[in-house]
Structure 1
Amino acid sequence: MFDARWLTLKFPTLLMVLLTLGTSAAFANDLLRFSIGNKNSPAFPPYQWYDFCGGGYQGFNKELYRRLAVDLGYSAIFSEADFADNSSQLQKNSLALVATKKADFTLTHPAFITAGDGFILGKTPVLQISQVVLLPVDRPDISDISDLKTMTGASMVTPEVKNHFRNFGVELTMKKSSSLEESLKNLASSEVDYWMTSKFVAQHLINEYGLQNKVKFSGLDLGTASRFYMVTNTSENNARLMTRVDDLIASYYQTGYIDFLKFSVMKKWLATRSCAEKSE
């Protein structure tokens, strides 16, 4: 009969190595890797930004990932994507980590997924973002997309959005702004003619800066809301987990957790937004 005491006496170092490897392997199996933003990329509140004061990523994406990992019985770790100067490129860079199996999951728009890419897209949307157009309060409303041809907008618009409008024969003219706040303030002072952004973000920033009498929502309908889904690669374990992820996302909506999370991270962003700016 094998006696482990003999192994301990003869090869104590070997035994410790074997035990350490076993423990490390078990720990690694309990980790779930999520692709996150890049600390040097622009902040995309309330969904993701980097806190240069306390260190670490913040936002809706991170908190959702942590909750999913816990409910799946894992610990979340975050894999940093390559630098990107706009949200579309950041999604592409995050997907690249999932494709190369350097991350297990990320949140993305289906437009960045094509057949044969080796991805599994979730069935339940995590986010449904309604895009709206805001105008200075003294400007007449616009009723057709073609009206944007002769107007200058605040530039927080991604290349994909510009390409979308080109399909309707509209070439957007934009004035660059470095942040959501700058876009809103440029609009309130009539330095730009309109600002296209998320309705959720706009409502909170307008209230934060007390600009209810300076800007207004246009009645222009930009179409359906953008929907974002969890995505993973085709590894056996991740494919199995995606079914559970879909069920969890559905339950988060039913319990109100998604709405709670959006409001709580927006509140945190407004309170600590200066920490998203890297000191020179």
Structure 2
Amino acid sequence: MIIKPILVLLLQAALALTAQQAYGQQPLRFAVDNRHSDPIPPYSWYNQCKKVHQGFNNALYKKIAADLSLEAKFIEAGLAENTIDMLNQSTALLMENKADFALAPPSFIQQRNQLTAGEKPVTATSPVLILAASQAEITEVKQLEKLNGVGVNSADAVKILKLQNVNINVNKVGSIKEAVMHLARGEQDYWLTDKFIAQYLINDLGLQSKVRISKLKVGTSIGLHIMTNQQPVNQERLQQIDQLLASYHQNGYIEYLKFRVMQSWLANKDCANSAD
């Protein structure tokens, strides 16, 4: 009789569907920076007071998971010394299948062919040079060697300019607000930071007459994409996430989120010091 084989096939199909549905309800695992790594506002930091990860990345991950009716699970990456190392640590979790998604530049695909990037960048980082109002315009980066710089993640600034054969001396301070205020008071000459951070602080603190953004190009804009590994379910999820991100850009949610987390950072930065 052929009834028994048909029943077996139906049972196998039902079990496969049940397994697929169960797997589809698994939490989305997002890679986040190590709690002991330096904070990178507005993107990522660890709130030592509340014992939670915060920032643009974290808030976006929660939004994506909620809109897919799934739970967001955060997988902490290894300790990192600078921003590039943080990206390396996060994407390593994807390659080891310990996490499903992370934010990183598409250049990481060239280095790791096991990864796939989302269709369009979620946001972009654009390095700019902030000058004290009294400081003459900088026409070439080599001039910075004779000036006094300030920074929060000073290792990143040093590395960016060292690639251009420029060796700088940067005074490291505890927060981005402290960095820009050093310029406003004329205590330092320049600060290499992200364009969004610079514009937000200048406007929020009313420093338009105290500091300015230099016209000198110090680096290229780098797009941050959602990255995933080659797991089939993650490849499918990536298509869904791309659609969500397109809607977020269209309705202005991405820009709103960046401003919101900057406000949160400035209000709670004392809780984002290096871990105890």
Match of 1:151?
A: 147
Pairwise CA RMSD: 2.5
* 1:205-224 to 2 correspondences below 5 Å: 205-224=201-220
Match of 1:274?
A: 270
Q: Give the length in aligned residue pairs.
A: 258
Match of 1:93?
A: 89
* 1:95-114 to 2 correspondences below 5 Å: 95-114=91-110
Contact kept? 1:46, 1:265, Cα under 8 Å: yes
Unaligned runs of 5+ in 2: 1-17
2:177 to 173, 178, 181: 181
Contact kept? 1:107, 1:228, Cα under 8 Å: yes
- Cα deviation, residue 132, structure 1: 1.3
Contact kept? 1:152, 1:193, Cα under 8 Å: yes
Match of 2:227?
A: 231
Unaligned runs of 5+ in 1: 1-21
Range moving further from structure 2, 166-175 or 232-241: 166-175
158 and 97 in structure 1: CA distance in 2 versus 1, 3 angstrom threshold: farther
Match of 2:3?
A: none
Match of 1:168?
A: 164
2:239 to 225, 237, 243: 243
* 1:28-39 to 2 correspondences below 5 Å: 29-39=25-35
- Cα deviation, residue 142, structure 1: 1.2
215 and 259 in structure 1: CA distance in 2 versus 1, 3 angstrom threshold: same
1:258 and 2:245 are equivalent in the alignment:
no
- Cα deviation, residue 137, structure 1: 0.9
155 and 111 in structure 1: CA distance in 2 versus 1, 3 angstrom threshold: farther
- What TM-score do you get using the length of structure 2 for normalisation? 0.83
Contact kept? 2:31, 2:90, Cα under 8 Å: yes
Contact kept? 1:48, 1:59, Cα under 8 Å: yes
State the alpha-carbon separation in 1 of the partners of residues 72 and 275 from structure 2. 28
**1:42-66, Cα deviation, whole Å (9 max, x unpaired):** 1111111111222211111011111
State the alpha-carbon separation in 2 of the partners of residues 249 and 259 from structure 1. 12
Contact kept? 1:153, 1:174, Cα under 8 Å: yes
Contact kept? 2:109, 2:116, Cα under 8 Å: no
Q: Identity across aligned pairs (percent)?
A: 37
- Cα deviation, residue 70, structure 1: 2.0
Match of 2:80?
A: 84
- What TM-score do you get using the length of structure 1 for normalisation? 0.82
State the alpha-carbon separation in 1 of the partners of residues 105 and 155 from structure 2. 14
2:47 to 43, 46, 51: 51
Range moving further from structure 2, 109-118 or 226-235: 109-118
